Amino acid sequence: MVNYSLGEMERGLSGVEYQRYSRHLLLPGFTPESQQKLSSAKVAVVGAGGLGSPILQYLAAAGVGTLTVIDADLVDSSNLQRQVIHCEAAVGTSKVASAARAVHALNQAVHVREVPEVLTPANALATLAGHDLVLDGTDNFPTRYLVSDACEILNVPLIWGSILAFDGQVAVFFGDEGRGVTYRDVHPRPPEPGEVPSCSEAGVLGPLVGVIGSTMAMEALKVLTGLGSPLYGRIQLYSALTGDWTRIDVARRKDRAPVTEIEDLVETCGFPAVEASGAAPVRAEVLSPAEALREAATGRLLIDIREESEAAEGMLPHAVNIPKTQLMEFARGERAGVGPLSEVGDLHGAILHCAGGARSAAAQAELATLGIEVANMAGGYVASVTLRP
């Protein structure tokens, strides 16, 4: 399904390339033209984290000619448990820059286009246009829908992967001009805020991202070269605990109209909007549970933004429970400071926590857009349990 021009294919492989990719060329059906297709391919990888790490490493090693790496995040020490493309020296630096260095160290012939920006409804089509294939290794629902919709509009194949705790999923989506299966056929309704936990709440076993990311890279080589049967209309489910793979066949929903314009799902899925810009990402304050508890004991405001039903099961010492929705309404001046809010006063410098850290990180980002800087307690209430008697 990927087309290449005669000019892109007429160069032929050099002697160095024959040597480098000799193990490919020994495979039945893998011809020099197959390798040339990889060398001529332009592939966009959305996310340079857990899934992006093996994807980028294997595509670079395979000789994919152009890799566009899209990620606005900085490398954090908590990433190193699974994001193997980054090293300790890269902590605090741009993920796309770190990934580009690793790719060039592996294969200098690969051209890397660095996009250290958030993919948004405003820039998605322009950023992804011109690519032969897109791989989505992101971990939030707004971006997953955004990438799928953009690929459907651009009629570009999309390889999608997802991981959580001990389980992973892989699929190949392709709109095929209104005939094929996309992410919206599998997940027609975006989840409500807090309905599905993130990796920061549920955790993820490090090697799992290697299994799923490598599988995504394998599917990419199949799509780009025409070898084998890519996972069109199929989802592969993997359990790290049992080692089992399960296949689910999926079909296009008969009542679904083709996507023709980009929809902004940020508010629907409960994630804060992020402005795309060329500026370096701001490194927000993140505290460990132990640090947060020490700060709270000295009088620093600790706000539990879980729902009241969650807080009823237990709260941290010195914490005040203000659900996220109420806190944001108060911050925007839409809610009076009564009840627990009367204890808040100035939000600047407060510490937020939720169940696992995802909602509080989202609230931290939202407050930052209002000019209010707060800290986030990594791991949330769940991570703090082992610190209390």
Q: How far is CA 29 from the centre of its chain?
A: 34
Phi and psi at residue 52, in whole multiples of 5°? -60, -30
319 near 360, Cβ under 8 Å? no
Query: Torsion over CA of 4, 58, 62 and 156, rounded to 10 degrees?
Result: -10
Residue 247's SS3 state is strand
Cα-based angle 249, 131, 188 (whole degrees, multiple of 5): 35
d(CA 65, CA 43): 8
Q: Which residues have CB under 8 Å from 243's CB, separation 6+?
A: none
Detail the DSSP E strand segments found in 47-137.
66-70, 111-115, 133-136
Asked about 199 being catalytic, the answer comes back as yes
Q: Does residue 67 sit in helix, strand or coil?
A: strand
Q: Which residue has the tokens 């592969």?
A: 236
How many CA within 13 A on the CB side of residue 287?
A: 23
Neighbours of 337 (CB within 10 A): 11
DSSP 202: H
Question: What's the rounded Cα separation, in Å, for the pair 52 and 73?
Answer: 13
Identify the active-site residue in 87, 151, 269, 354.
354
Active site residue 87: no
Exposed/middle/buried for residue 342 (C-beta within 10 Å: 0-12, 13-18, 19+) = exposed
Q: Which residues contact 166 (CB under 8 A, 6 or more apart)?
A: 205, 208, 239, 240, 241
Q: Which residues are catalytic?
A: 199, 354
